[in-house]
Amino acid sequence: MPEPQSRRPDDNGGAIAATGAGGGMDLATSEGGTLEQRPGEPGGGTGGGAGGEATGRPRSLWSDAWRDLRRNPVFVLSGLVIVFLVIISIWPSLITSGNPLSCDLARAQDGSRPGHPFGFNGQGCDVYTRTVYGARTSVVVGVLASLGVAVVGSVLGGLAGFFGGFWDAILSRITDIFFGIPVVLGGLVLLSVVTSSTVWPVIGFMVLLGWPQISRIARGSVITVKQNDFVQAARALGASNPRMMLRHILPNAVAPVIVVATIALGTFIALEATLSYLGVGLKPPTVSWGIDISDASPYIRNSPHMLLWPAGALAITVLAFIMLGDAVRDALDPKLR
């Protein structure tokens, strides 16, 4: 995706959190943004992170959010798209009988014909089959990269926010260092030496340069939660650090991370395509939208169909994840109700 991508904080509090990284100064009031927790609601803390099972408990943040989401058409629509994508990622043969690697140069760049609705690409492979099979790679890259970023980012950011002081300063500086390296540039440098045709180097790179974004948000969020009464109360009652972190802080601070990670998921999928365009993305025989889009991009003038189908599939997928993240954020943000 978009070149300066991981620099993008989340719309709401993210931007503020991102700039507040200057150090442990008196910006704490603004960090963590608008995702305020409801005051005096320690009950929400016992519910764990999973939204769905919390419905039994009255008026927890998560159950409210879930109730909102179910009624939100944007959420339902993007959710359906994502479910469909996941299904065809697991069983692509459900909707296509073709083989994405079977190509016949005699059909190169041909338009659509019966049995091959999207036509053929420059190598004479069926564009429809490749578009269907490409979903798997994109979903795997997106999900694993954002999972990795969320875990690394929230652990590091959370620790920095929780302990503050020296460790915060060190971790914040490290975050700044990684922020200072433009993402596409890092990709060009690091991935140009890779010859493996698996998805792992690409995912690893995304986690390596993507975690600071989540880290800053997690840090801000933890700082906000830490100041809540119920955390102070738990500390006064003698709760240990690990217990406080896991039982009280994590469940309450995780919401912004989930939101940003969902939106980042879409951007990772798009980033994979950009890396392919620059010649350092995934490699055959892996089938991916990024590879197909970048292969087709020089042919945009004479055979636009080769570009439009995989690019359209990619855009819809990214859109679905961003809209999902958007809907989740709206549901979790009481101010916007």
Hey, which residues between 97 and 116 contact other proteins (CB under 8 A)? 99, 101-106, 108-109
Q: For 334, what's the count of Cα atoms within 13 Å in the CB-facing half-sphere?
A: 10
Check residue 165 for interaction with other proteins (CB under 8 A). Answer: no
Nearer to other proteins, 138 or 252 (CB): 138
Check residue 267 for interaction with other proteins (CB under 8 A). Answer: yes
Amino acid at residue number 315? A
Nearer to other proteins, 245 or 324 (CB): 324
CB 202 within 8 A of CB 138: no
Q: Which of 270, 313, 324, 331 binds other proteins (CB under 8 A)?
A: 270
Residue 72 DSSP SS3: coil
CB 216 within 8 A of CB 175: yes
Check residue 21 for interaction with other proteins (CB under 8 A). Answer: yes
Tell me how far the alpha carbon of residue 80 is from its chain's centroid: 18
| Segment (H or E) for 146 | helix 127-163
Give the C-alpha separation, 41 to 140, whole Å.
37
- CA-to-CA dists, residue 312 to 56, 97, 135, 232, angstroms: 41, 21, 12, 50
Q: Which of 4, 46, 91, 95 binds other proteins (CB under 8 A)?
A: 4
Stretch that binds other proteins, among 120-128, 129-137, 145-153, 229-237 (CB under 8 A): 120-128
Helices and strands (DSSP H and E) totals, the chain: 12, 0
Give the C-alpha separation, 322 to 264, whole Å.
8
Check residue 278 for interaction with other proteins (CB under 8 A). Answer: yes
Q: Which of 140, 247, 315, 334 binds other proteins (CB under 8 A)?
A: 315
Binding pattern for the stretch 23-42 against other proteins, x by CB under 8 A and - elsewhere = x-xxx--x---x--------
Nearer to other proteins, 43 or 204 (CB): 204
Stretch that binds other proteins, among 45-53, 127-135, 238-246, 320-328 (CB under 8 A): 320-328
Check residue 195 for interaction with other proteins (CB under 8 A). Answer: yes
Give the C-alpha separation, 300 to 197, whole Å.
26
Check residue 11 for interaction with other proteins (CB under 8 A). Answer: yes
Q: Which of 18, 132, 156, 159 binds other proteins (CB under 8 A)?
A: 18
Check residue 69 for interaction with other proteins (CB under 8 A). Answer: no
